[in-house]
Chain A
Amino acid sequence: MYRSHVLVCGGTGCTSSGSETLISLLQEELKKNGLENEVAIVKTGCHGLCAQGPVMVIYPDATFYSMVKPEDIPEIVSEHLLKGRVVTRLLYVEDGGTAKALKDTDFYRLQHRVALRNCGIINPESIDEYIGTGGYEALGRVLTEMQPDDVIETILASGLRGRGGAGFPTGMKWKFASGNRGNVQKYVCCNADEGDPGAFMDRSVLEGDPHVVLEAMAIAGYAIGASQGYIYVRAEYPIAVERLNIAIKQAREYGLLGKNIFDSGFDFDIDLRLGAGAFVCGEETALMTSIEGNRGEPRPRPPFPAVKGLFASPTILNNVETYANIPQIILNGAEWFASMGTEKSKGTKVFAVNGKINNTGLVEVPMGTTLRTIIEDIGGGIPNGKKFKAAQTGGPSGGCIPAEHMDIPIDYDNLISIGSMMGSGGLIVMDEDTCMVDIAKFFLEFTVDESCGKCTPCRIGTKRLYEMLDKITRGEGTLEDLDKMEELCYYIKDNALCGLGQTAPNPVLSTLRYFRDEYIAHIVDKKCPAGVCKALLSYKIDADKCKGCTLCARNCPNGAISGKLKEPHVIDQSKCLKCGACMEKCRFGAIYKE
């Protein structure tokens, strides 16, 4: 029995900012003070507020410490854990506010955690802690009290839609695969091949609450009549892989995976398959081809996986976050789940909020929350007083949402109607310093790289799109290029084989829709309004402001700045590399971009 629990975040964000060191220092300090039998250290998954990492929460008072450094540990132990005095300087304080309980901060107050229920609360490497918060009870109830069809009905009634991007009703998927139970081999797969740049929701669920995925997959297996599951997870997620392996081992030891689970006669086991990080393997047919041991390339649908999937057997494939909702739906009922969200998008959605935002991290909100709430209230707004320009959802398959649509309730259908998509939940915030043409180019560069090359529209089409964007950012584009680009976008969308190609033009189409003036500025005025595209900008010195201190000249890596001491300097445009070093160094704000 411990009187106090110190929860240290062991998510990827906090691990990279040094939480492992903090844990070993804590152990040492506790021992030194003879507290090792009174205070438990629990390594948890992600708490969500990654920007403030490494974070720790000390219970029973839920004291939240952020940006903890190794040298803070002795003080935390001797002051807080021994003497009960909170180390106030380490408390997390919201902008301009005072320290509050974690649940009262703007960051958490507006969130509603369903999929992330256990993340940051339990030790993901302990099956007992998962059971302690109600884990595996849904599986037990399903196996002992429900018929497979009842399970499918419950999921259908909840209105749960796939969280991986396309938003297909999960219950429907299960229903399609449920025929002929017991007579054919079937599979349950989990898509943990999260590939969108800036997305880390699934990773955090796997790292923070791996058992929830196992439990949900077993429930799915019972519902459709499958005895084997596969989790396809990328090898770039080493912590997630390790914790999944531990979780599978523990579940097998407890008989929660394996033969005759809950004495119901139901057998189910799960194995991991590691992906090598190809973006296309997040597409369902490519993912299954990769599990089979072949090169990860998509194939045409139909036949859909529910009919002919993995090893040509009926298969269901759901995303990690989708699974994370299942046990809660079983335990609390379909009505409970359906009471959250909007008419056609039920429940909550996890967003990985990053880019130009103060509170980078994981946020789970009910469907229908506005972008404004996520960015301004929960996300803490844009740093350095800059103006919001757009948010990109759905990564390279999605589009941008401009400021004028900030008050639209976010759900699957609304996002599609404004030319973006939910995607897996990456939310990249952009401020006025972001060039939208450059962003479109960035995403196209990504899809060109990740296109598997099997079909021509994607392989060649995205390459040509990229080239045209590149031409525009160099100031060599023409207005006809815009029309050609648009035509090509629709051609690729209509003809590409899989989701990767079909959605690849979205970033271009949505920036053309909302920020056409920026494209025109690049083409007609040969200017990049945000000052990003190097070919279109030049650094200049304002002679009135320049004091002739020579600092810029000394810092220019190419010797492009000349001038006498105490006289205005000049930049030689033919030598300037446009690195911006001079602008950074100038103490008088005399250097500007145009």
Chain B
Amino acid sequence: MKSLAELKAIRDRMQGEVNMREDDNSNHIRVVVGMATCGIASGARPVLNKLAEDVQAKHLDNVVVTQTGCIGLCQYEPIVEVYEPGKEKVTYIKMTPEKADEVVEQHLIRGQVLGKYTLSSTNL
């Protein structure tokens, strides 16, 4: 170890991982993936993994990616819900890893909801 910069490089690399272990993430954006049997069957797992990977790789320290059971709209699975403190919940439906990428880029980083993928875009 020759410099603080070298140390910082390791720290940055590890931060995404270690930051997950925060006890107080009540102010964070919560990204919840439906992982009941219906969700898994329609491909929720790759979506969940993609989201988790992107959030860590891009050091989005204020985002928590987690999972939940059946949301109740099995025909729209895989479903991803985004809870932002103080804002209305956004529900993305029929997700794929590619769409997940977009959600991270547009919604989580830039704050723009991708209306075309949300539940409200369907005639429910």
Residues of A within 8 A of B (CB): 1-5, 7, 38, 40, 57, 59-62, 82-85, 101-103, 121-122, 128-129, 131-134, 136-137, 140-141, 144, 254-256, 261-263
Q: How far is the CA of A134 from the CA of B17 in the complex (A)?
A: 13
* CB pair B35 A1 closer than 8 Å: no
* CB pair A262 B49 closer than 8 Å: no
Q: How far is the CA of A46 from the CA of B33 in the complex (A)?
A: 31
Contact partner of A128 among B14, B20, B22, B23, CB < 8 A? B14
Stretch at the interface among B50-58, B90-98, B106-114, B115-123: B50-58
Which residue from chain A places its CB closest to the CB of B11 in the assembled complex? A131
Sample of 4 more A-B contacts, CB < 8 Å, known A4-B52, A261-B1? A2-B17, A82-B40, A129-B17, A144-B4
* CB pair A83 B69 closer than 8 Å: yes
Q: How far is the CA of A7 from the CA of B22 in the complex (A)?
A: 12
A421 to chain B, nearest CB (A): 33
Given A131-B14, A134-B11, A140:B4 Cβ within 8 A:
yes
A66 to chain B, nearest CB (A): 16
Residues of A within 8 A of B23 (CB): 62, 101-103
* CB pair B66 A255 closer than 8 Å: no
Most A C-beta atoms less than 10 A away, residue of B7, B16, B37: B7
Given A1-B53, A60-B25, A132:B65 Cβ within 8 A:
no
Residues of A within 8 A of B13 (CB): 128, 132
B74 within 8 A of A: no
Q: 5 tightest A-B contacts by CB?
A: A132-B14, A84-B67, A3-B52, A132-B18, A255-B1
Contact partner of A131 among B7, B66, B68, CB < 8 A? B7
B104 within 8 A of A: no
* Number of residues of chain B lying within 8 A (CB) of chain A: 39
* CB pair A2 B52 closer than 8 Å: yes
B36 to chain A, nearest CB (A): 6
B124 within 8 A of A: no
Residues of A within 8 A of B33 (CB): 84
Which residue from chain B places its CB closest to the CB of A40 in the assembled complex? B17
Q: How far is the CA of A377 from the CA of B14 in the complex (A)?
A: 36
Q: Return 11 A-B CB contacts under 8 Å, by A number.
A: A1-B53, A1-B57, A3-B51, A5-B20, A38-B49, A82-B35, A82-B40, A84-B33, A85-B36, A131-B10, A262-B2
B24 within 8 A of A: yes
* CB pair A254 B52 closer than 8 Å: no
* CB pair A59 B20 closer than 8 Å: yes
A193 to chain B, nearest CB (A): 30
Q: How far is the CA of A7 from the CA of B20 in the complex (A)?
A: 11
Can you list, as one digit per residue, whether each of B23-56 has a CB less than 8 Å from chain A (1) or not (0)? 1110000000111110010000100110111001
Which residue from chain B places its CB closest to the CB of A128 in the assembled complex? B14
Given A5-B21, A38-B49, A102-B23, A83:B14 Cβ within 8 A:
no
Q: How far is the CA of A263 from the CA of B5 in the complex (A)?
A: 12
Q: How far is the CA of A178 from the CA of B23 in the complex (A)?
A: 41
Which residue from chain B places its CB closest to the CB of A101 in the assembled complex? B23
B47 to chain A, nearest CB (A): 11
Residues of B within 8 A of A83 (CB): 35-37, 40, 67, 69
Residues of B within 8 A of A128 (CB): 10, 13-14
* CB pair A136 B67 closer than 8 Å: no
A286 to chain B, nearest CB (A): 36
Which residue from chain B places its CB closest to the CB of A7 in the assembled complex? B21
A9 to chain B, nearest CB (A): 13
* CB pair A60 B37 closer than 8 Å: no
Residues of A within 8 A of B3 (CB): 140, 144, 262-263
Given A1-B56, A82-B35, A263-B2, A132:B66 Cβ within 8 A:
no
B64 within 8 A of A: yes
* CB pair A121 B14 closer than 8 Å: no
Q: How far is the CA of A5 from the CA of B22 in the complex (A)?
A: 11
Which residue from chain A places its CB closest to the CB of B8 in the assembled complex? A137
Which residue from chain B places its CB closest to the CB of A35 in the assembled complex? B45
Q: How far is the CA of A255 from the CA of B1 in the complex (A)?
A: 5
* CB pair A137 B11 closer than 8 Å: yes
* CB pair A136 B7 closer than 8 Å: yes
* CB pair B65 A3 closer than 8 Å: yes
Residues of A within 8 A of B18 (CB): 121-122, 129, 132-133
Given A121-B21, A262-B1, A84:B68 Cβ within 8 A:
yes
Q: How far is the CA of A1 from the CA of B19 in the complex (A)?
A: 13
B93 to chain A, nearest CB (A): 17
Residues of A within 8 A of B36 (CB): 83-85
Residues of B within 8 A of A144 (CB): 3-4
Q: How far is the CA of A262 from the CA of B8 in the complex (A)?
A: 12
Q: How far is the CA of A533 from the CA of B19 in the complex (A)?
A: 54
Residues of A within 8 A of B57 (CB): 1
Q: How far is the CA of A274 from the CA of B66 in the complex (A)?
A: 45
Given A83-B36, A263-B2, A1:B21 Cβ within 8 A:
no
B87 to chain A, nearest CB (A): 20
Q: How far is the CA of A263 from the CA of B33 in the complex (A)?
A: 47
Which residue from chain A places its CB closest to the CB of B16 in the assembled complex? A1
Q: How far is the CA of A62 from the CA of B25 in the complex (A)?
A: 9
Which residue from chain B places its CB closest to the CB of A84 in the assembled complex? B67
Q: How far is the CA of A1 from the CA of B24 in the complex (A)?
A: 21
B59 to chain A, nearest CB (A): 12
Which residue from chain B places its CB closest to the CB of A261 in the assembled complex? B1
Residues of A within 8 A of B53 (CB): 1, 3
A129 to chain B, nearest CB (A): 6
Interface residues of B in 54-106 (CB under 8 A from A): 56-57, 64-69
Residues of B within 8 A of A3 (CB): 48-49, 51-53, 65
Which residue from chain A places its CB closest to the CB of B19 in the assembled complex? A132
Q: How far is the CA of A557 from the CA of B16 in the complex (A)?
A: 63
Q: How far is the CA of A82 from the CA of B11 in the complex (A)?
A: 30
Residues of A within 8 A of B11 (CB): 131-132, 134, 137
B61 to chain A, nearest CB (A): 12
Residues of B within 8 A of A1 (CB): 16-17, 52-53, 56-57
Residues of A within 8 A of B52 (CB): 1-4, 38
Q: How far is the CA of A137 from the CA of B15 in the complex (A)?
A: 14
Residues of B within 8 A of A102 (CB): 23
Given A3-B48, A102-B23, A60:B14 Cβ within 8 A:
no
Q: How far is the CA of A102 from the CA of B25 in the complex (A)?
A: 12
Q: How far is the CA of A482 from the CA of B36 in the complex (A)?
A: 72
Residues of B within 8 A of A57 (CB): 21
Which residue from chain A places its CB closest to the CB of B67 in the assembled complex? A84
Which residue from chain B places its CB closest to the CB of A141 in the assembled complex? B4
